[in-house]
Amino acid sequence: MSGTGAMGGDPLAFVAGWAVMMTAMMLPGAMPMIALYGAIQRRAADASVKGVPVAVFTLVYLAVWAASGIPAYGATVLGEGLPPAMVPYAVAASLVAAGAWQLSPFKQVCLRACRSPIGFLLGRWRAGVRGSLSLGWRHAVYCLGCCWALMLVLVAAGAMGFAWVVLVAALVAAEKLAPRGEWVARAAGVGLVALGLVAAARPEIVSMLRDTMQAM
């Protein structure tokens, strides 16, 4: 399960590359929340209401996403140590697990927080610097909760190719921004579970899938 090719042997390079990939994939879906926070800060006349600058607020997201590269690296190293015969089944299990998460109520909770930034702010707004940092942290965790299973698929399948990053980024954006994004998430979950079951039954498909991903 050679998750990230050349980056797999260097933890710092892996995490740096992961941070760039996560930013490219996650930032479009987080922009409504960041933009709304910025609008509130610009209109806040009372200094006690103001929080951290928008740039710092955004950095909280980037830090959370980059930190997720640490367990991703661990999963990659663990996968590289598997016997070759076990790799297809590990990939199949990852696909089924990712699909199950997509269909779970926990996914829907995270997705609602991402799809409704106004509702999230109304329920959790806290004034001041600490309040702003806490708000950014909590929303970034919800964003990660929305998408960690799709990141698992990329790691498991060795799909760090640009085309597949773009594909998953489009899916993440559709889940969060499309009018019926929750159904996009469910459809992706059904597809992942089905693909995982097929991969478990026909292990040779995993090699074909990974070769195609890496070629792109």
pLDDT in the model for residue 80: 80
Percent of the chain with pLDDT over 70: 84
Q: Are 94 and 156 in contact (CB under 8 A)?
A: yes
The residue type found at 98 is A
Which has the closest alpha carbon to 104: 27, 192, 197? 192
Measure CA of the first residue to CA of the last residue in the chain; give whole Å. 17
The residue type found at 159 is A
Average pLDDT, the chain: 82
pLDDT classification of 215: cutoffs 50, 70, 90 = low
Render pLDDT for 119-170 as a digit per residue (tens, 0 to 9). Answer: 888 877 777 788 888 888 999 999 899 888 888 887 876 655 566 677 788 8
Specify the DSSP element, H or E, that contains 32: helix 11-43
pLDDT at residue 6 greater than cutoff 50: no
pLDDT at residue 179 greater than cutoff 80: yes
- Highest mean pLDDT (candidates 42-51, 102-111, 170-179, 203-212): 102-111
Crossing angle (nearest 10°) for helices 162-177 and 181-201: 140
pLDDT classification of 210: cutoffs 50, 70, 90 = low
- Measured between alpha carbons, how far is 65 from 58 in angstroms, rounded to an integer? 11
Render pLDDT for 45-92 as a digit per residue (tens, 0 to 9). Answer: 555 556 778 888 889 999 998 999 999 888 888 878 888 888 888 888
Q: Are 49 and 127 in contact (CB under 8 A)?
A: yes
Cβ-in-10-Å burial (0-12, 13-18, 19+) of 106 comes to: exposed
